Structure 1
């Protein structure tokens, strides 16, 4: 058994390209959806929880206190487009397309092509039941930023992936 297999860390892929966290501070491919938190363009104190389901592209977008997005009227709103764009930066277009099961020509593979590929199937607007879970996960990630700097282990993070090479 190698050293990294005995360690309580996992290898993580680096982001495909650096992201600016101000617009989309949290994005993940989880629970069969592309989901995340997107900052409001008009109110600094408001964020939107947006998601797109893999396969059928059912989407939802609502504020952190569950008010529906005014721009998501049967079509992807700007928050969904921002989420798709940032997911491509974080994970790479191929991985996002594969996860969401979007068929796009390899030569055209970018965030716009992914959004267009999903829009062509007439996605429907779903409920925002997952929004609370996604927002809660985002807040939990933020809480780790408030921990005081220390080299001591944090027991609840023993599973947390690291990019540090384990010898």
Structure 2
């Protein structure tokens, strides 16, 4: 068994390009959505939780207090556009386009433009509570000291070898 298999952490793919975490500290492709947390440009204590659903591109954007975003009325707001751009930096344009099922040139601007052109007329399911709690859980991991001791919450992974 290799050293990484004994560790309490999993291998992480490096980002496609380095990105700054101040504007979009959390972005992920999960649960059939591109979802993330975007900092407010006007209030340091406020963040927006944004998401775009795979395929139909239904979207949602609200504050961490579940107040709707004023800019997300029938079209993507600046928070969603920033999240798409950061997802392209994190995962690469091809992977983001493939995940969202967007037929467009593999650039952040083209992906967002094609999604707006083909579909986000309706609001999506607001998954703000789920996305925000995942963001907070990720923040908690940053406070842990590096270790090879197993973490109890990571023990759901199946064993790597058969027990006879």
TM class by shorter chain equals: 0.7 to 0.9
Structure 2 regions of 5+ residues with no counterpart?
A: 158-164
- Could you say what secondary structure the match of 1:113 adopts? helix
What residue in structure 2 maps to residue 151 of structure 1? 147
**Partner Cα separation in structure 1 for residue 17 and residue 128 of structure 2:** 26
Relative contact order: is structure 1 or structure 2 higher (C-alpha 8 Å, sep ≥ 6)? 1
Determine the C-alpha separation between the residues in 1 that align with 2:113 and 2:74: 14
C-alpha displacement of 1:127: 4.5
Structure 1: distance between partners of 2:26 and 2:127: 15
2:114 pairs with 1:117? yes
Correspondences of 1:1-167 after superposition (within 5 Å): 3=2, 6-7=5-6, 9-105=9-105, 109-147=106-144, 149=145, 151=147, 153=149, 154-157=151-154
> Over the residues paired in the alignment, what is the CA RMSD in angstroms?
2.1
TM-score normalised by structure 1 residue count: 0.84
- Give distance in 2, aligned partners of 1:27 and 1:101: 18
Uncovered stretches (5+) of structure 1, i.e. residues with no partner: 161-167
Q: Do 2:16 and 2:91's aligned partners in 1 also have CA atoms closer than 8 Å?
A: yes
1:15 Cα deviation from its structure 2 partner: 0.5
